[in-house]
Amino acid sequence: MQRVIDLYCRFLDGLIALLLAIMVVLVFGNVVLRYAFNSGITVSEEMSRWAFVWLTFLGAIVALKEHQHLGSDMLVSRLGITGKKVCLILGQLLMLYITWLILSGSYQQAKINWDVEAPVTGASVAFFYGAGIVFAVSAGLLLIREMYRAVTGQLTEKEMVMVTESEEAAELEALQAELEKDHAEIPDSINTHKANGSGTPQGGKP
């Protein structure tokens, strides 16, 4: 299951990068054409706005999976394991309810605007609200999985705090995780060299 989630989030990362590139091309290209050639890209504003909405919601899914949403852990971080678990489950239940509201509202708006065409591209406006549906379904599944792991005791004490105090703290944690990964790989490489005999002197003596 974890592999499937990782692959899905990796796909979302690629899609986010693509949407960002499209936004840059449309907005920058439109500015250049407008001031240099007295022309422009007609669909630039509309498509950029839609791409930005989808980029935001897709990024929120990845951030939820990585526990990168900003929040205050001043109280929760000082509780014991039981207190952290209770707060985590209560928080997830509240987030599931909010996710349901987003799903319900987005679905209703998509149905209402299914036959409504965008003024420039002519595409169905329901596609605009589809971002909320994709986010709600993905976030709901992630929250249910995290809740199951919390109830069954599969989460570590650190994983029970599902928010990041600040962006600087998130960057520091990512750097620390990278350093720990590098330190873990060093003994493996040493053992590999020893197993291959690279640590034995040329004379054959230990």
pTM, rounded to two decimals:
0.70
Using CA atoms, how far apart are residues 16 and 37, in angstroms rounded to an integer?
30
Does residue 199 lie within any of the structural domains? no
Does residue 190 lie within any of the structural domains? no
| DSSP codes joined into one string, 73-92 | -TTGGGS-HHHHHHHHHHHH
pLDDT in the model for residue 177: 65
CA-wise closest residue to 132 among 95, 91, 100: 100
Checking if the pLDDT of 144 tops 80, the result is yes
pLDDT tens per residue across span 103-141: 999 999 999 988 888 888 888 888 889 999 999 999 999
Q: What's the domain count of the chain?
A: 1
- In the numeric block, which tokens belong to residue 109? 């708006």
Does residue 141 lie within any of the structural domains? yes
Checking if the pLDDT of 174 tops 80, the result is no
Does residue 193 lie within any of the structural domains? no
Query: H helices of 38-154, where?
Result: 44-65, 81-112, 126-151
Does residue 63 lie within any of the structural domains? yes
pLDDT tens per residue across span 43-78: 888 888 899 999 999 999 998 888 777 666 666 667
Domain containing 42: what range? 2-185
Tokens 């599969």, residue?
154
- What is the Rg, in whole angstroms, of the alpha carbon atoms belonging to the chain? 24
